Structures are given as structure tokens and as C-alpha cells.
Chain A
Amino acid sequence: MQGSAIRYASLTARGLLPNRWDIIAFPLVFGLLLLAARGARETLAPLSALKEPVVSLDPVNLPEYALRTTLRMLAAMIASLLFTITYGTLAAKSRRAEVVLVPLLDILQSVPVLGYISFTVAFFMSLFPGRVAGAEAAAIFAIFTSQAWNMTFSFYQSLRTVPRDLEEATRCFRFSAWQRFWRLEVPFAMPGLVWNMMMSMSGGWFFVVASEAITVGDKTITLPGIGAYLAQATAERDLRAVGWVVLTMIAVIILYDQLLFRPLVAWVDKFRFEQTGAQTAPSSWFLDLIQQSRLFRTLLHPASLLLGGFARQRLSPPPDKARIGGSRSLARAMDVVWFVAVLAVAVFALRTIIAHVASGVGWHDVLDVAKLGLFTLLRVVVLIAIASLIWVPIGVKVGLRPRLAEKIQPLAQFLAAFPANLLFPVFVVAIVRFALNPDIWLSPLIILGTQWYILFNVIAGTMAYPNDFREAATNFRMRGWQWWRRVMLPGIFPYFVTGAITAAGGAWNASIVAEAVSWGDTRVVAHGLGAYIAENTAAGDYPKIVLGIAVMSILVTAFNRLLWRPLYAYAEDRLRLD
């Protein structure tokens, strides 16, 4: 699995993006979110707050809360899968859809996850007035937004890179589009998709915790679950309860890994495209149990028959009618119509956004927010740098000892999945007790949960480092700084960049939770864009929320374009060892 980290991450490197379309994608995303929020507010009758308190701090309730949290995660994952398959397929199959959908996806994933919740809470709650279902839907949607985008990118990239000979073979044997999809395209995309599902899941725990207890203006969501339990514990200043919730989370993540993802990863290995059996195949005791026990096999047999039959249908005209090519001039005319339509919608969306934001904020707000954005940017950059300085040497040392790495690697992956916001209260207690400067001491929180991506990618890179090179370096007696600079760092650089991209993305998202933290009624706030968004979300000030989130999206996108993507391209181009 270590080797696959870089491989599948590279699928999302997105060299195919047509940049000018971003200009259209941006207003589309924000316009839509805004309309959803506004429409909801208008139809919204004064909402009776959900009954309080929903959550009891008795640890006996924790298993039930854990189950409900997990079910939310699963529901979001299913939604993400459906979204991935439809959106990804559409983007890959239709040239016209592609030019809009791909940049759109890029913007969608630069919007901070908790930003979606600020926008959409009102909308979802108005769908089910006065009932918990609305709040549930909002929370699930928030988790969905943390999972879907990278899965979709992975799927889209896989569909675009289906090996040509296999594609020709399916056409030669006259598979229908439906058959080709299930026989070739989905299986081919499977390993990348599962890898990204895992990544999404580990990111998702953070947001499920954050979205179970959130206040937007006069609407407060409190859903029974781990996150709400934590919120309650924080409000009541109960450190013991925080301890319980941490333990529960550890148990949940381990179970989830053993019962869902280990088996999935082991199973999906058969869809690996490389024909060589060089790597050791991942294994899972649970998958073995399923595949070898007669009971499970009997239970699963009808399902597999059904799925097989499902994939075997043709569902399209007989092959003799299918022709290659079509009218050129008609296609070109349609292109123009399509482009004009998209442009019109984008302009309309942009006007709506500007009008809305202008109604509540002035130019000085924009300047203010830009300044706050730079603070957060500085925080992200400095902390990624510090985390790299710490974890790169450690990761290399660990990676050079395969036995040790085998033990550390799962731990690092576990830490990456662990929702760091569970630990925030502990930091707040310390900051309050020692009267520390929040601008400095809250900063580590934004990287607390995501620094592990750097560690485990570096370990993976070191483990994949060819032994020949190491032996050559030893033979030429290279050591010290020369060894790092000439031998090891270039070799692990692509892996490091992959890890750092993930870590930075996570840090931006975490800033909304991490820059403004409370403990009971003590509130500790740092200067930053994250705090700005959090405070205005609590106050329900929509124009300011839109402004804050838009600025953050722009910063994230710019950061990606100007730093990460060139770095990634450089690493791919010059420093690949295979």
C-alpha cells in the first residue's frame, strides 16, 4: 500500500486542467451556494431550536453516539460514491461537460468544508422544518463535501487514462457503452478510487466532529454523536469526558479500518493494472473470513449473480447502429451555443454574488479580510515548514528500517485519521492557564491532524527508495549533509510534495475550527481568516461569510497553482526514480 500512495496521489495531480474556465467556475460555485442559502432563509419560518440538551455526558451513551456518527460517515460515503460515478463519468465522456465540470470541481474542493455548512444549514433545515432530519442532512452534506471531490478527480483521471489496448479490445468485441463501463472502466478506476475513499474517510472524521455541533446565526445544530458529545464536554469544562471521547474515537477508527478498509484494499488489489506480481499483496483477515466461510459465500452469492447480470446488460442500441464520428459543423455550432449559455449563467452568478456581498460589506471589509487571509496563509506556510523540518528526517530514519517502518506506518495513518479537534480543548486549557499568546499558540492546532500525511508519505518514499542508490552512496562514502542533499532528498521529494499538499489542504480547512476555540465560556481567538469565518458563521452574517469563504478559496487556489502544482510537476518530471 505504501507504494500506492504516490501513484494514486499522482492521479489527482490534474495536468489536464483548462485554466481559463476557472474564471467561470468560481462564480458558478458561489452563486449556487448563495442561492441555496438565500432561498432557504426566505422560505424559513422562525425555527424552533432543537430541544436541549440533546447530549448527555454519561460515557454509557458513547457507543450509541459512536454508531450514529459512523452511520453519518457511511451515508456521506455512499452519497460521495454516487456523485463520483455520475459526475466523473460525465466529465470524462462529454467534452462539453468536461470544460465546465473539471474547473468547477477544482473550485469546489478549494472551498473550506465548514464553509459549506455555513451556507447550507439553513437550506437543509428548511427542507425538514423543525425536525432533526434537516440537521442530519446538513451534517451529512458537510461530510460529503469533505469526501467527494478527490474521489471524483481520481475517477475522472482513471477514466481518461484507460489503457488504449483494452479500450480497443472492448470495442473490437463490441461491448456496449454500459458493458464497457462496468467491465473495463470501473474496474480500472477501482484501486485509485478506494485509495481516495480511504483518504477521504480519514479527513472526514474531523468534519463529522465539527459539524455535529454548530451554530449558524439563530440556528443551532446539535446531533447526537461524538462531535456533539465533545461540544457538550467543552461547554461543561469536563476533561474526563474529553478523555472518554478520545478513547471511543480510537476504537471506532480501528474498527472501521479493520472491518471496512483493510478488506477493501485487499480485495481491490486484483484490479491493479500492472501485470507483474512484484509487490506483496495486501491482506485482511476479515476479507479472508468473508471469502472462505461458507456462510458468507452463500449469503453473498445472490448479490454477485445480480451484479454480474446487471453489468452484462447492453442497454444501448445494437453495435451495427453505433457509428464512429459525426457531423463536424453541427458540433461546432453546438459548442458555441453551449459556451454562450455557460458564460451567461456565470455572469448572472457573479452579479448575484457581488450584489449580495455589497449589501453587507464595504471595501474596508474586503481589505480587512485580505489581511486576515494573509495571517492564515503565513500560519499555514510556517507550520508546514516546521512540520517538514521535524517529520522529514524522522520519516527517512524510520523508512530506512523496514521492520520499524512496518510498525510506524499504520500508526501514522491512524494519527492522520484521528480528528485532531478532539484534542483542541486540551490546548485551550493550557493557553488559558499560562496566558499564552493565542496568535502563536493556537497555530499548531491547524497542523495537528494533518502533519501525519507528511510523515507517512516520507516513510513510504524512503521505503520505495532503490537499494542500489543507497549502496552506491555508501560505496562513495557520502554522508552528512551531502548524503541528504544529493542522495535522499531528491529521491523522496515527489512523496514529500504529495504529503505536503494534503497537509496544507487540511490545514486551511482546520483553520476555521482552530483559530477560534472555546473552553466553557472562555473563548480564545487568533487573528486569521478561519476565525473570521467561524465568528461570522456563529453570528449568521451571510455577506461576511461569503466574503470570507471566497477569499479563502481564492487563496487556496492561488496557493495550489503557484506553489504546489509547479512543485509537483517538477517532482514528476525530474525526480522520478522509476
Chain B
Amino acid sequence: MVAIDTTRKPPTGEPILTVCGVSRGFERGSGGVRVLDEVDLSLRVGEIVGLLGRSGSGKSTLLRIIAGLIRPSGGQVIYRGRPVNGPADGIAMVFQTFALFPWLTVLQNVEAGLEALGVSERESRRRALSAIDLIGLDGFESAYPRELSGGMRQRVGFARALVVEPTILLLDEPFSALDVLTAETIRTDLLDLWIERRLPTKSILLVTHNIEEAVFMCDRILLFSSNPGRVAAEIEVPFPHPRNRLDSAFRQMVDDIYAKMTARPTIGVPGQLPKLQIGSRLPPVSTNVIAGLIETVAAPPYNGKADLPEIARTLQFEIDDLFPVVELLQYLGFAEITDGDIVLSAAARTFADLDTQARKTMFAERLLASVPLAQHIRHVLDERPGHQAPRVRFEQELEDYLSDSAAEETLDAIISWARYAEIFAYDDVAEMFSLEDPGG
């Protein structure tokens, strides 16, 4: 894949946890859509494994299945030779939202992790203080979470997880709610502890949607594809710690992963998206962002072609912000993706030079031509004598293909585009689509 000198052998330890053919569907059996489909993975002693994917790819669901918080609808998780049926001893989790008890002090929050295990009060105090010390929270013992900055709160989250001396540490996007600098500091602190073997933990599983973070921290990355969630690729990261983000091999790997994630290698021809269907899920992308991205890529220094990781960095976009826009541009015929580069089509270059009204007209044409749902709603409104239709009619149609929340999100997305394109109107109070233009 990438020509890199493997200076360190990949971890070869015993597997301590195995996921075998785990699946999970929606609660309602709607069209067989699955959040997770036949996922296999194993965690070995001494490695950090990353689950990398976009939001909605089921990676957090998988993490919760491993933690014993939810039950898979198929397959099983084997830990220490036994299937996981509920929260297991030796598996601790750090939450994206920190999940601290606001009414407990830092010390009490950390001790709370031990309380359920029936550790004596004195022992629990000793262990909590040493975990607080380890994670760099000394001096904050008697503070309440609301007095702390986000970074300090997440340190409490780590201390609470580490105090139970977990064999496996599960990290659910633990840095994504923090600002860039804070996130980096905590990441490096954690890696230092890990490399110096000062953690009681044998293996770490990190869920993230941040490609650089995954390459920076993990020994192995499992790439998740969405709809259904499954492991699309497995990537070994052979660089020794500490890693340098500016190193060319590092950058190359980040680029490659971008390419893989936009190429959707599991479906159809690489670089070519499958056509949208009437029941396809549509991402909630603002028309301002669509226009903004086209303008940015059309202008110098990109002049119509840009490297996705670079664009993401410049615009400070996470992949969850960037990929949906890029995808939509592809659907609308405004751009192509090749090898992690976005290339604007001729239409998009024209679009960039048009004034507002002309842009709207062009967007309307494209929307009706390439998004079947827009076409469908417009068609229904044209056919009906009153040129009106209730929202629920389309919502029900969509629910044959999508989950309730996805159906709602999709309709909201189409409403906002249609309003911009002025192809139909929507009254939110009455929940009615119509052809009437309230201004005219």
C-alpha cells in the first residue's frame, strides 16, 4: 500500500477479545437495513486499535456491544474465553461527553468507578488518589466538574476508567468535544503513559472519525463503511512512537485513508458513486456550504482541483463535515473524486461565476435531475389538484427504506435545498408541501 520501512513489528500478542460476526439491525425490521453487518475483529495484548468511520457507520454501536451495554442481534463477543452478556469485569470506557456526575467532586467521581466493585473505602481512596496523580489532576480533587474546563473534565473521565485497572480501555471519541490544543495534550499524555507501560491496561480500542488522530495513536486501524456498518479495510500503522504529523510517510498514510474513505471500495467502481435512489439517505448539508466549497476549490490556489486532507485542514472540517458535502457535489455532478482529490466539473466552475439568481436556477435543474426524491415530491405536487401534500405522506414512503430519524433528516435536507432552489415550498406549522410561493 504505502512504501514504509517497518521499523517495529506489529503486535503479536494473544487476542484478549474477539468479535465474531456481530450484527445489529434497527429495532423495527425496516427493509433489512443494518447498523452493523457481520463484523469481525480481535484485540491483542499491547496494541491500540482504531475504529475509524463516519458518523452513522455503527462504530459507536460496536463499542457499546463490546462494553456489554447493548446486545448484538447476531454473532457474539468473546472476552477471556467467555461470551459477553453484560458489562464485564476489566472493560472500562471513556465517553465523548465525559459522563461525569455533576453532583460529585473529582475525587468522588473517580471513586465512583470503584464503588460498584465493593472495594473498601480506604483502598478506594488510595487507588483514586493514585489514578488522579497519574492522569495529572492533583490539586483538583475537591473541585466539581462544572468548575473544570473540558480538558480537565476528560482527564477525570480517564482517571475514573483507569482506577478500575481495566484490561481493555474503550475510548468513544474522547477528544472530539475538546479544542484542538487540549485534545493534542491529552492524547500525548495518554500515549506517554501507554508507551512507558504505566497503564494497567493491556489493550485500547479507540473510536474516532478523525483520520489524523487514528494514524497518530493506533497500531492498527479498522476502516468502517456506512449503511450497513462493516469493516471495509484494515490498515497497519507501522510508525514508532512518538509520531510526527509532518513526516511525509505519516502524511501519505493520511492521504491514502482519505482516498479509501471517499472511494467506497466496497460498492461499484472506485471513484464512482452509485446513483441515488428515491429511498437514499440524504445528508443535511447547507446550500451555503455547497456554494462555499465550490467557490473555494474553484479559486486559486486550487483552481478546480484540491487535495481533500488539505481542504479539510484549511477549512477546519472534520470528515463528518466534509464528506457529506463532497458526496452531494458528486451526486449533483459538480465534482469528481480521484485518489483523495476533489476535481470540479465544468458545471461547477460556471456555478462559481454566476450571480445568486442564476445559481438558484442551476441548482434547481441539477436537484431535479439527480435527486429522485426531489423529483418525486415535485411530481406529486404537480399532479395534485390543490398542489399540496402533507409531509407525513413522504415520511411514510421513506420509512420503507430508512429508520425514522434518518427519514426525518432526509426530508429536512430536501426541504432546505428545495427552498433555496425554489422548486417547492414547505409550511412547517401545517407540515404541508406546496407549490405556492409565499412571496408571490
B40-80 contacts to A (CB < 8 Å): 64, 67-71
In the complex, are the beta carbons of A314 and B113 less than 8 A apart? Answer: no
B64 to chain A, nearest CB (A): 7
Verify A324–B86 contact, CB threshold 8 A: yes
C-alpha gap A324/B160 in the complex (Å):
24
Residues of A within 8 A of B88 (CB): 320
Write the B100-121 contact mask toward A (1 if CB under 8 angstroms, else 0). Answer: 0111000000001101111000
Find out whether the CB atom of B117 lies under 8 angstroms from the CB atom of A174: yes
Would you call B86 and A275 a contact (CB within 8 A)? Answer: no
The answer, yes or no, to whether B184 is at the interface (CB within 8 Å) is no
Which interface class (under 10, 10 to 19, 20 to 34, 35 or more) fits B?
35 or more
Contacts of A272 in B (CB 8 A): 102
With A171-B87, A324-B86: A319-B116 Cβ-Cβ less than 8 Å: yes
Contact of A320 with B112 at beta-carbon distance under 8 Å, contacts A172-B67, A174-B117, A276-B146 already known:
no
Contacting pair A324 B115 (CB below 8 A): no
Shortest beta-carbon distance, B215 to chain A, in Å?
27
Bound complex: CA A369 to CA B252 (Å):
84
CB of A166 closer than 8 Å to a CB of B:
yes
The docked-state distance in angstroms from the alpha carbon of A173 to that of B67 is 10
B77-99 interface (Cβ within 8 A of A): 85-89, 91-93, 95-99
Q: Is B429 an interface residue (CB 8 A)?
A: yes
Within 8 A of B (CB), among A351-369: none
Taking CB atoms, residues of chain A closer than 8 Å to B86 are 319-320, 322-324
Residue pair A168, B101 in contact (C-beta under 8 Å): no
Task: Scan A164-205; emit 1 where CB is below 8 A from any B CB, else 0.
Answer: 011011111111100100011001001000000000000000
Q: Total A-B residue pairs with C-beta atoms closer than 8 Å?
A: 85
Give the complex CA separation of A113 and B96 in angstroms.
47
B101 in complex: contacting residue of A174, A184, A322, CB < 8 Å: A184
Inter-chain contact B95/A168, CB cutoff 8 Å: yes
A314-B116 in contact given A275-B146, A325-B71 (Cβ < 8 Å):
yes
Asked if B147 lies at the interface with its beta carbon under 8 angstroms from chain A, I say yes
If over half of B's interface residues share one DSSP class (helix, strand or loop), that class is named, otherwise mixed; here it is loop
Map CB proximity to B onto A277-310 as digits: 1 under 8 Å, 0 otherwise.
Answer: 1000000000000000000000000000000000
Write out the residue numbers on chain A whose beta carbons fall within 8 Å of the beta carbon of B101.
166, 183-184, 187
A273 within 8 A of B: yes
Decide yes or no: A271 and B102 within 8 Å by CB, A176-B116, A183-B115, A324-B86 being known contacts: yes
Closest B residue to A268 by beta carbon equals B103
Contact of A574 with B by CB under 8 A: yes
Tell me whether A165 and B97 are in contact (CB under 8 A): yes
The answer to whether the Cβ of A312 comes within 8 Å of any Cβ in the partner chain is yes
Minimum CB–CB distance for A277 against chain B, Å:
5
| Binary interface encoding of chain B residues 116-143 relative to chain A, with 1 for a CB under 8 A from any of its CBs, else 0 | 1110000000000000000000000000
Residue A270 at the chain B interface, CB threshold 8 Å = yes
Q: Are A183 and B112 within 8 A (Cβ)?
A: yes
Q: Report whether A169 and B99 are in contact in the complex, using a CB–CB cutoff of 8 Å.
A: yes
Complex: how many Å from CA A272 to CA B57? 34
Q: In whole angstroms, how far apart are the Cα atoms of A270 and B64 in the complex?
A: 30
Q: How far is the CB of A165 from chain B (nearest CB, A)?
A: 4
Contacts of B164 in A (CB 8 A): 173
Q: Give the shortest distance, in Å, between A309 (CB) and chain B (any CB).
A: 9
CB of A324 within 8 A of CB of B71, answer yes
Please tell me if the beta carbons of A187 and B87 are within 8 angstroms of each other in the complex: no
Contact of B229 with A by CB under 8 A: no
Instruction: Tell me the bound Cα distance from A486 to B399 in angstroms.
Output: 38
A168-B99, A172-B93, A271-B103 known; A324 vs B85 contact (CB < 8 Å): yes
A273 to B88, CA, bound (A): 28
Q: A183-B115, A276-B146 known; 8 other A-B pairs, CB under 8 Å?
A: A165-B95, A168-B95, A172-B93, A173-B87, A174-B87, A176-B116, A320-B89, A324-B85
Could you show 22 A-B contacts with beta carbons less than 8 Å apart? A168-B93, A169-B93, A169-B95, A172-B67, A172-B69, A172-B87, A173-B87, A173-B115, A173-B116, A173-B160, A173-B164, A174-B87, A187-B101, A270-B103, A270-B144, A273-B102, A275-B146, A312-B115, A320-B86, A324-B71, A324-B85, A324-B86
A-binding residues in B (CB < 8 A):
64, 67-71, 85-89, 91-93, 95-99, 101-103, 112-113, 115-118, 144-147, 153, 160, 164, 429
Q: Which of A's residues lie within 8 Å of B, judged by CB?
A: 163, 165-166, 168-176, 179, 183-184, 187, 190, 270-277, 312, 314, 319-320, 322-325, 574
Closest 10 CB pairs of A and B: A165-B99, A169-B99, A175-B116, A174-B116, A165-B97, A187-B103, A271-B103, A172-B93, A275-B146, A173-B113
